[in-house]
Amino acid sequence: MTNLERAETSFSTYKDKYKSIRLTREDGILEVHLHTDDGPLRWSLLAHNELEDAFLEIGRDRANDVVILTGTGDEFCGPAIAPGQHPNRKIMTPESYDPIFWESRQLLPNLLNIEAPVISVINGPAVRHAEIPLLGDIVLASNTAFIQDTAHFPGGMVPGDGMHIVMPLIMGLTRGRYFLLTGQKISAEEALRIGLVNEVLPPEGLLGRARELARELLLQPKLVRRYTRIALTEEIRSRMQGLLGYGLALEGMARMKS
């Protein structure tokens, strides 16, 4: 066995590992379905922990040729946070924030380090951490979907765990800051118009279209796919390296007990 073989991850070692992520793979196409009890994902510390680990495992498994990331049911993720009511603000100590800080410094970089094209399928409203699906190389959205950040500034927290990097980058500085400061709700059609998503489809057509696109990507040689993914994510990975930890430190300070 070579060093490379020892370093790789087998699908069987992680496919049934997670409570909030359902994984299936066929012909090298890995489908990642986020859920809570087989319904739409309810964002939680569990989901936060599992996504960090799952993205790492997916990236280590070189048998994953294309990744499709989607939600379950009629929402991508929720629930929405009422204005000023995030439950984790002003309750943290350095000790209780430390595991969140550690996971958050790995979560988005682990997603970006997956060396296979990622197709995001936003199957409904994404009101918690919409930056995750928006980092896909191809982004499809249901015509019932909208994008909103209810958990950070509107909920009483600093958007320092990647939202402050991703949204201004993909939306433009002025639009991105307005989105984060106001809790703006962006419909699927508006997201298409301003370039956040690539296609808007009825819900019943989303996964079929994603699978069609995945098979088109498989027509290219493996190294062409992998190295193209690396090239297309290099800029944002470099931004994460310089800015993510700093944003998380600011978010953490504002979450401490007063």
Residue numbers annotated as active site: 131
Residues 6+ apart with CB under 8 A from 74: 40, 123, 124, 144, 203
Nearest CA to 163 among 229, 102, 171, 142? Answer: 171
Residues 6+ apart with CB under 8 A from 102: none
Gap between the Cα atoms of 215 and 114, Å rounded: 18
Polymer length of the chain:
258
Separation of CA 121 from chain center: 11
Nearest CA to 115 among 240, 229, 20, 232? Answer: 229
Beta strands in 83-238 (DSSP E): 118-122, 138-142, 146-147, 186-187, 199-201
Per-state percent for the chain, helix, strand, coil, to nearest 5: 50, 15, 35
Q: What is the DSSP secondary-structure string of 23-37?
A: EEEETTEEEEEE-BT
Is the CB of residue 221 less than 8 Å from the CB of residue 129? no
